[in-house]
Amino acid sequence: MTSPKDSKGQINEDNLNSLIGGILQDLGGAFSIPLVQIGESLGLYQTLDEHGPISSAQLANNTSLDERYLREWLSAQAASNYICYDPATDTFSMSPEQAFVFANRDSPFYLAPAFGSAAAFVDNMPKVLEAFRTGEGVAWGDQSQCLSCSVARFFRPGYKNHLIQAWLPALEGVVEKLENGGEVADIGCGHGISTLIMAEAFANSKFHGFDFHERSIEEARKHLGEHNLTNLDFHIQEAKDLPGHYDLITLFDCLHDMGDPVGALKTIKKALKPGGTVMLVEPMAGDSLQENLNPVGRMFYSASTMVCVPTSLAQETGAALGAQAGEKKLREIVVDEAGFSSFKRAAETPFNLILEARA
């Protein structure tokens, strides 16, 4: 059979079939975005994990939901390999691995909230599309209303499973300071998930969460109201106007979103007490595009296009580092431009770079 041609010449059928196969996988994932959100919102994954194998009728009975809708949802989830289907018994269940990703909210690989972030990116599309034409930014507060909530939920599993257990212990002398009673600023705290985790773990220390986004601080204060903590407060504040002096200053997944990261870091450097530490948590990335052509880089480049770069360009200076800046570029900003004396990678996960800087 003669291979088809396009306007540029002969098409390689193997390459074409491989490309189409990959795109079909992508489209299946894209079409699954609302279904995963429905499953998470209604607790369907948890019910399957606890009670499976069960039929669609049994699931309907356990959840008081409509069986016909559930049957179609279950079929789609099984076709995506997000759940298991047994044709012999016509029942559905979850493997331990599937439950680890979709049902266990405390798992470090609980990825269901990522689908909510993807939905928020779609909501952002009209504004970002126009920004492509104008070169202007899209302010964080002008983006999808569900964005800050979905981002907070997406980051929570990583913070919960690594922050106290691995990241802070990887910083020289920091845990001892926090146990004895230190002063901590969590810049770009968003909904305050990271700040709350630290405040609960170190009762002798005082924690202050700062974010320029008013609605995020409102949510952080709501979360604080659900905990009996007296060593924590939240403030609407930009990093460049940071008040006070601190033993530890943390920036979780926010430096690359700033319009003027160098200016912010210079302010942060002045706010450190003698011997103080800065912990930067940034998305995992290599130092070149070639190194980042992988599933994690693909996800973060997409998020960066829809959220991170528009957010930075909406602020003064508009550095637009992007979510895949890489350690080398971050070192240049922290040491060469902001004037810190030391900078090193303290820890890492498949999704995170944990970087330590000292004045």
Query: Taking the domains of the chain in order of start, what are their residue ranges?
Result: 11-102, 112-358
- Give the pLDDT score at 2: 54
Whether domain 11-102 has CATH 1.10.3720.10: the reply is no
Residues 6+ apart with CB under 8 A from 198: 163, 164, 168, 178, 184, 186, 205, 207, 250
Q: Is the dihedral of CA 61, 66, 70, 72 positive or negative?
A: positive
Q: Residue 194: its pLDDT value, please?
A: 96
The whole-number pLDDT of residue 149 equals 86
Question: Alpha-carbon distance 328 to 286, whole Å?
Answer: 8
Write out the CATH class of domain 112-358.
alpha beta
8 A C-beta contact, residue 259 and residue 330: no
pLDDT of residue 3: 59
Q: How far is CA 90 from CA 51, 71, 110, 164, 255, in A?
A: 15, 11, 27, 44, 50
Structural contact between residues 345 and 353, judged by C-beta atoms closer than 8 angstroms: yes
Regions of the chain short of the pLDDT cut 50 = 1
Per the listing, tokens 């076709």 go with 79
210 pairs with which residues across the strands? 187, 235
SS3 for 261-283, per residue? HHHHHHHHHHHEEEEEEEEEEEE
**How many Å apart are CA 33 and CA 118, to the nearest integer?**
7
pTM for the whole thing? 0.90
